[in-house]
Amino acid sequence: MHQKKSKEMNTNHTQIWNNCLRVIKDNIPQISYETWFMPIVPVKVELDVLSIQVPSLFFYEYLEEQYIDLLSKTLRKELGPKAKLEYSVVMDNTHLDNKQPYTLNIPTSNKGDLRNRPFNVGNQEKPTVCNPFVIPGIKKLNIDPQLNSEYSFDNFVEGECNRLARSASLAVAKNPGKTAFNPLFLYGNSGLGKTHLAQSIGIEVKKTRPEKTVLYVNANKFQTQYTEATRNNTVNDFLIFYQMIDVLIIDDVQEFAGKIKTQNTFFHIFNHLHQTGKQLILTSDKAPVELVGLEERLLSRFKWGLSADVQMPDFETRVAILKQKIYNDGIEVTDDVVYYIANNVVNNVRELEGALISLLAQATLNKKEISFDMAKAIVDKLVKKVTREISVEMISQTVCDYFGLQISDLLSKTRKREIVQARQIAMFFSKSLTNSSLSAIGAKIGQKDHATVLHSCKAINNLIETDKEFKNQVREIEAQLKS
């Protein structure tokens, strides 16, 4: 008889909880249901009190804060207006010798009582959710955002190569989670400023909205943390930690390629944050459509917001970057040195700044002033020189590509100003960068004589000396010819 009665009670509490779950599932997002309700285990029911088991104290607190109204309504429907809910918090924490469940009686019939009731678990130290950054406590203010203060918007040089990405980043920083740019996906080759921009957003948010929880983490570190959580059986705490973040910045998401379990976990974190209006910023070396080894459902979410590419800086931007760093470091460098570095170090910002740092170190160690010859020696060591034949034909094609012209335009008899000037530039570089005679250059560029070529070279030299914008254009073309 006793066994039969126990079985009936067991069936009763399981059935009651399943009835509650059916209602709850219809009223919250699937990801929230899977995260916060599937781990709950019904324990027993006695009269109008249902006991449930939850995996952590933070879990209990989150349910109390976010879902108490829903729990109250569903439970009253099953047990009547005097229904009460009793939590058994069972935590498998290796640092606690006593693993007995902490039990507390919490009435669900009064929302105010529930929220204001002190949480008492005896003399035991209150455990906390595992923080993968090993920072004491779980309160949001205790989470280190992992940001580098040098990566601010003030230190970021804007140019055509990054204008869209920077504008979008500023918009996100001013109103995180509330723009159409969620997620903001920044992509481009290494060393172009993606990490700088992503961290600038975090720094700006922390400055203007200190109550927001911001976190920057590289994809490799995220992967390591997840592996550790799996090994220690703390994946639930890992999920909870990341679902607390208001602005999450994941750098180099291409590193998730092939890591199916990590992708699955990040998928759930992404969904939870996006559905709750939190901001995601992702960086990658490729656009979402070009990423390989990532699940399609994850890639589709990467495309929900804005994908902005960060391109190689043009000559003008490279000069601006160098001059800003020179100003910040309080050193003196002549323009010819700056232009030489900008002309020859073209791949990325990191190499550009590295060349300047090497130049400064060399001058300091040798107690010499920074000179053009010193800059040339440093750059020649840093930049891999690729031998490439520079011909009149190659110069003509490069100039046409730069100005958006056809070779036929350059070789025609037209006197349109823009084509005449492009023709003169091609002649100017053909004279300075090839061994061709003036007559040979003229013959290959519009069937002109040597006097026309000579005049063109003088005209270009005069413009370089008097027109700053034109000078920058010539420098950019020169960099392309020598790259």
Question: Which residue type is seen at 483?
Answer: S
Angstrom distance (rounded) from CA 364 to CA 361: 5
Same domain, 404 and 363: no
Angstrom distance (rounded) from CA 376 to CA 73: 76
CA neighbours closer than 13 Å in the CB half-sphere of residue 308: 28
Angstrom distance (rounded) from CA 203 to CA 181: 18
CATH code of residue 202: 3.40.50.300
Q: What is the pLDDT of residue 120?
A: 32
Chain segment 376-421, per-residue pLDDT in tens = 887 777 665 434 557 888 899 889 988 988 888 888 888 888 999 9
Helix (H, G, I), strand (E, B) or coil at 217: strand
Same domain, 299 and 186: yes
Same domain, 303 and 345: no
pLDDT at residue 122 greater than cutoff 50: no
Chain segment 159-168, per-residue pLDDT in tens = 888 889 999 9
Angstrom distance (rounded) from CA 374 to CA 351: 17
Determine the structural domain holding residue 280 and report its residue range.
Answer: 153-309
Q: What is the pLDDT of residue 263?
A: 92
Sheet holding 279-284, edge to edge: 214-218, 247-251, 279-284, 184-187, 306-309
Same domain, 158 and 247: yes
Q: What is the pLDDT of residue 395?
A: 92
Same domain, 23 and 105: yes
The pTM for the full model equals 0.54
% of residues, the chain, pLDDT over 70: 84
Same domain, 282 and 186: yes
Out of 113-117, 136-140, 142-146, least confident range? 113-117
% of residues, the chain, pLDDT over 90: 22
Kindly indicate the confidence band of residue 459, based on its pLDDT and cuts at 50, 70 and 90.
very high
Of residues 13 and 121, more confidence is placed in: 13
Chain segment 211-252, per-residue pLDDT in tens = 898 999 999 999 999 988 888 888 888 888 898 899 999 999
Domain tally, the chain: 4
Same domain, 330 and 267: no
Same domain, 297 and 166: yes
Same domain, 305 and 319: no
First-to-last C-alpha distance (Å) of the chain: 90
Q: What is the pLDDT of residue 66?
A: 78
> 236 lies in a domain?
yes
Chain segment 296-336, per-residue pLDDT in tens = 989 999 988 899 988 888 778 888 888 888 877 777 788 87
pLDDT at residue 26 greater than cutoff 50: yes
Is there a contact between 202 and 172 (Cβ–Cβ < 8 Å)?
A: no
